[in-house]
Amino acid sequence: MKRSRRLLNRVPNSKTLTLKAADELEGKPPARRPKSIRRKPQPSPKILSLPPPLSNPPGKMTILPPEFFRIDSLDLAQRLLGKFLRRDDVILQITEVEAYRPNDSACHGRFGITPRTAPVFGPGGHAYVYLCYGLHTMLNVVADKEGVGAAVLIRACAPVSGLDTIQRRRGQKTEKPVLLTGPGKISQALGISTEWSNHPLYCAGGLEILDGPDPEKILVGPRVGIEYALPEHVNALWRFAIAGTAWISAPKNTLRLL
């Protein structure tokens, strides 16, 4: 120990000398540092594409009354998020919608009452189902009072019950969001056609809308595919979705928290 001190005193700036250097001056092999323990990377948790199970069994779910739907379509759109569509063994949870209002240049009501659009002017709570581009069947929920001409388009859902039936109708054996993210896919999964237009969604049997939990947070953005409309309607933030779910259609980058 005395020798080590004498050696250190002979070296300039000895205060900055490390123990390793002192050992080398004494002819000792440098002390080995303990090897760092390499930890194996932990696998990231698996993200399930399907929503969590319902707190209430399907048999005890409540059909929403007509009064629920007879409000402004902008309000109804947000209230429909988290609610359930049921037909036979298929139950879907509504995750994304768009509101279409009176005097809206993107709403079918702008054409007035025709054989096709007549259900839009009916009482709130009825279905308005139409064929888009001759290919996709689109399900809408009529809003407001009779004669107003407003509706809410169902853009995306998450499967809750009847997955096998949904996959068979869709022709896709998948549990990923692509199964039900897009308005045409919803009608296909439910097995409905334009013949369901004007169907009351508050009556038991057939196609029903059931009560469900309100989302904690909502995303909002402009509607999709309405470039033909007036600028104020193209840019209107009348598209709504449940925040935090993967079951939302494209584009997602136009959505933000409400």
pLDDT at 31: 52
pLDDT of 151 higher than 90: yes
Stretch among 31-45, 120-134, 142-156, 219-233 having the lowest mean pLDDT: 31-45
pLDDT at 60: 75
Q: What is the pLDDT of residues 156-213, one digit of tens each?
A: 999 999 999 999 999 999 999 999 999 999 999 999 999 999 999 999 989 999 999 9
- Percentage of the chain beyond pLDDT 70 is 77
Query: What are 73's two structure tokens?
Result: 């379509």
Instruction: Measure Cα distances from 71 to 196, 210, 220, 238 in Å.
Output: 22, 17, 19, 15
Q: Helices marked H in the chain — which ranges? A: 2-10, 19-25, 66-69, 73-80, 163-170, 183-190, 231-234
Question: 197: which residues sit within 8 A by CB, 6+ positions away?
Answer: 119, 127, 128, 129, 130
pLDDT at 35: 52
pLDDT of 56 higher than 80: no
Say if CB 144 and CB 73 are below 8 A apart: yes
- Percentage of the chain beyond pLDDT 90 is 73
pLDDT at 43: 41
Say if CB 209 and CB 64 are below 8 A apart: yes
Average pLDDT over residues 237-258: 97
Average pLDDT over residues 55-84: 89
Q: Which domains does the chain have, with CATH numbers?
A: 1-30 (no CATH), 58-257 (3.10.300.10)
pLDDT band with cut points at 50, 70 and 90 for residue 58:
low
Query: What are 210's two structure tokens?
Result: 């059931």
Q: What is the pLDDT of residues 88-134, one digit of tens each?
A: 999 999 999 999 999 999 999 998 999 999 999 999 999 999 998 77
pLDDT at 33: 52
Q: Where are the beta strands (DSSP E) in 33-121?
A: 84-87, 90-100
